C-alpha cells in the first residue's frame, strides 16, 4: 500500500486544534496520511508545488481546512483532479465566512464541503475513507466496524440520567 493516500492541508497552525480530530479519525482507520500547513494567501507557490508533489507520491484525496476568506480548498481543487474535501474553520463570524467561501465554488472546480469545525474535520476523514474503501475491501471492513462501534457507544449511553 502507498505511504500516502490522504493529504491534509491547513491554512494555519491555528487550525490544528480542530483538524487533529479528523487526523485522529484517519489514524483510527489506518489510512496513510500526512499533514501540512500551507496557505492559499501566505504561501501560494509552496501550496502549488505541494499539491503536485503529494499527487506524485500517491495522494488520492485532499482535505483542505481553512478559515476566514477560505480559498484554500478551492485553490487545491484547481491544481488537482483528485477529490478535494473542504473543512471550514470556525474562526471568525462563527465560521459562516469560512463555510461560504469554501462551499460557494463556481461551476467547474468542485470542492466537497463538510460542516464547520470538528464535525467537518471528522466527517472529511470519514468521507475520504468512504472514497478509498471503494477499491479497498479491508478499509471498508474497518469503516463498517467504526460505524458499529459508534452505534454501540450511543446504545451504551442511551440513558443520560444514569
Ligand atoms: C486562514 O486564516 C487559516 O486557515 C486560519 O483558519 C485563519 C487564521 O489564521 P491565523 O491568523 O491564525 O494564522 O488562512
Closest CA to 124 of 132, 98, 139: 132
d(CA 111, CA 109): 7
> What is the biggest distance separating any 2 CA atoms in the chain, rounded to whole angstroms?
55
Query: What are the backbone angles phi and psi of residue 65, rounded to the nearest 5°?
Result: -115, 130
Query: What are the extents of the domains in the chain?
Result: 6-156
pLDDT tens, per residue, the chain with 162 residues: 689 999 999 999 999 999 999 999 999 999 999 999 999 999 999 999 999 999 999 999 999 999 999 999 999 999 999 999 999 999 889 999 999 999 999 999 999 999 999 999 999 999 999 999 999 999 999 999 999 999 999 999 988 887
Task: Count the Cβ atoms, other than its own, within 10 Å of residue 82.
Answer: 17
Q: Which fold has domain 6-156?
A: Rossmann fold (3.40.50)
The closest-lying atom of ligand 1 relative to the alpha carbon of residue 40 is 14
Q: Which residues line ligand 1 (CB under 6 A)?
A: 11-12, 14-15, 39, 66-68, 89, 91
The closest-lying atom of ligand 1 relative to the alpha carbon of residue 89 is 6
Find the 121 Cα to ligand 1 centroid distance in Å.
Answer: 16
DSSP class of 130: H
Amino acid at each position: 500500500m502507498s505511504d500516502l493516500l490522504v493529504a491534509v492541508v491547513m491554512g494555519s497552525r491555528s487550525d490544528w486544534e480542530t483538524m487533529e480530530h479528523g487526523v485522529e479519525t484517519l489514524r483510527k482507520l489506518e489510512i496513510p496520511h500526512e499533514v501540512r500547513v500551507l496557505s492559499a494567501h501566505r504561501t501560494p507557490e509552496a501550496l502549488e508545488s505541494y499539491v503536485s508533489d503529494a499527487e506524485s507520491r500517491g495522494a488520492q484525496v485532499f482535505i483542505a481546512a481553512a478559515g476566514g476568506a477560505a480559498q484554500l480548498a478551492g485553490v487545491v481543487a484547481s491544481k488537482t483532479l483528485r477529490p478535494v474535501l473542504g473543512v471550514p474553520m470556525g474562526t471568525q463570524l462563527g465560521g459562516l465566512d469560512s463555510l461560504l467561501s469554501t462551499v460557494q465554488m463556481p461551476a467547474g472546480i468542485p470542492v466537497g464541503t463538510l460542516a464547520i469545525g470538528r464535525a467537518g474535520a471528522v466527517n472529511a476523514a470519514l468521507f475520504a475513507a468512504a472514497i478509498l474503501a471503494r477499491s479497498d475491501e479491508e478499509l471498508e471492513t474497518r469503516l463498517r466496524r467504526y460505524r458499529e462501534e459508534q452505534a454501540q457507544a450511543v446504545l451504551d449511553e442511551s440513558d443520560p440520567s444514569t
